[in-house]
Chain A
Amino acid sequence: MIALLFASTLLAQVTVSNSSIRLVPPVSQNSVGLMDIRNASKTDLRLVRVESDISKRVELHLMKKVDGYMTMRPVPHVELRKGQVTKLDGTYHVMFLGLKRPLKEYEKHPLTLVLSNGEKIQTEAQVLKHE
């Protein structure tokens, strides 16, 4: 019981803000999700998966420049350090692969973030033009 209470306290301590999905041309089959994840708990956690209905597959990716090349690779998880805000700002991002239908600007889609402790966090991401 105490363990459960402790767990539920942890749950409330991870919050998500500024969730958005990039508006892409209707011909695009992929898009990205960006957000800020605050881990206010006393434990390091990991974002291990994101669930969404907008695409056939959802992955976590890391984009970075290596030797002059812009590269993008899937990653198994994103570290959420205790007491810090982790920005999925395009470097790390949620990758939606195989969009089921074209995105429309300003529409909102629910996303579920799955953490390494099993916790699931709901957020709503708005489709926005990113510049």
Chain B
Amino acid sequence: MKTNKFLFAAIILGAFALAMAGVYVVKKNQFAQADFTLTSPNGPVKLSSLRGELVILYFGFLSCPDACPTTLTRIAQALKKLPPAKADKVRPVFVNLDPERDSIQRLKEYADFFHPRILPLTSDIENLKKVTHHFGAAFQKIQLPSAMDYTIDHTTDLVFVRPNGEVHSTLKETATTDDIVAKINEIL
């Protein structure tokens, strides 16, 4: 009887282990083909729907005083330096990391100030964590002894995604306007 109990426990454990392994494999596969739905000013947008354009992803937030406006200004200037037909094939995306404070309407006003082609996207924290992880970016909310209450520490790489959806490469936040133009010309 005792042996039977052990056998039963072993079978249950084995089945559980197999199930976990299965979940892991499925998760891994899902991740490989990951697509994400985020909120744009015009409603939900799947990142896969941006295929056909060279996407430049930048992750930031509206209260970010220096790094974000500097990078968005450089992206906007890079677009202005390109022939219009080429600039129309580039889609800079500003992924918001502070959904608690930043509404999509305010993000649209913010992005439009730099360039009308910059598409702001936002989502809930859980989804944003998945998106940033997928593209090698990261962020964390940090409480501050400041009137700001909190800030968002975040990575500042620009992620260049080919029109077919594959990540091409990244540039550091120190990249100049000309560096961004050169990278676009390398891809398109």
Whether A associates with B in a native complex is yes
A residues lining the B interface (CB < 8 Å): 22, 24-32, 56-57, 59, 61, 63, 65-66, 68-74, 90, 93, 95, 97-98, 129-131
Distance from B175 Cβ to chain A, minimum over Cβ atoms (Å): 12
Distance from A92 Cβ to chain B, minimum over Cβ atoms (Å): 11
By the criterion CB–CB under 8 Å, are B70 and A32 in contact? no
B 101-144 contacts with A by CB, 8 A: 106, 109-110, 112-114, 138-140, 142, 144
Please report whether the interface of chain B is mostly helix, strand, loop or mixed according to DSSP: mixed
Please give, as numbers and ranges, the residues of chain B lying within 8 Å of A57 by CB-CB distance: 147
Give bound CA distance, A92 to B177, whole Å. 23
Please give, as numbers and ranges, the residues of chain B lying within 8 Å of A59 by CB-CB distance: 146-148
Give bound CA distance, A130 to B67, whole Å. 11
Partner of B65, one of A31, A68, A129: A31
By the criterion CB–CB under 8 Å, are A98 and B109 in contact? no
Q: Is the CB of B37 closer than 8 A to any CB of chain A?
A: no
Given contacts A25-B109, A93-B65, A95-B65, contact A131 B145 (CB under 8 A): no
B 49-82 contacts with A by CB, 8 A: 62-67, 69-70, 73-74, 77
By the criterion CB–CB under 8 Å, are B145 and A70 in contact? no
Partner of A27, one of B113, B144, B153: B113
Given contacts A27-B62, A97-B148, contact A71 B155 (CB under 8 A): no
Distance from A32 Cβ to chain B, minimum over Cβ atoms (Å): 5
Please give, as numbers and ranges, the residues of chain B lying within 8 Å of A71 by CB-CB distance: 142, 151, 153
Q: Is the CB of B156 closer than 8 A to any CB of chain A?
A: yes
By the criterion CB–CB under 8 Å, are B154 and A26 in contact? no
Give bound CA distance, A45 to B147, whole Å. 25
Partner of A22, one of B65, B139, B140: B65
**Chain B residue at minimal CB-CB distance from A57:** B147
**Chain A residue at minimal CB-CB distance from B173:** A70
**Chain B residue at minimal CB-CB distance from A23:** B69
> What are 21 A-B interface contacts by the 8 Å CB criterion?
A22-B65, A22-B66, A22-B69, A24-B65, A25-B113, A27-B109, A27-B113, A29-B63, A31-B65, A57-B147, A63-B65, A69-B154, A70-B156, A71-B142, A72-B66, A93-B66, A95-B65, A129-B73, A130-B66, A130-B73, A131-B73
Please give, as numbers and ranges, the residues of chain B lying within 8 Å of A28 by CB-CB distance: 62-63, 69, 110
Please give, as numbers and ranges, the residues of chain A lying within 8 Å of B151 by CB-CB distance: 71-73
Distance from B6 Cβ to chain A, minimum over Cβ atoms (Å): 48
**Chain B residue at minimal CB-CB distance from A66:** B153
Q: Besides A27-B62, A131-B74, 19 other CB < 8 A contacts?
A: A24-B65, A25-B113, A27-B113, A28-B69, A31-B65, A61-B146, A63-B65, A63-B66, A69-B139, A69-B153, A69-B154, A70-B67, A73-B144, A73-B151, A74-B144, A93-B66, A97-B146, A98-B147, A130-B69
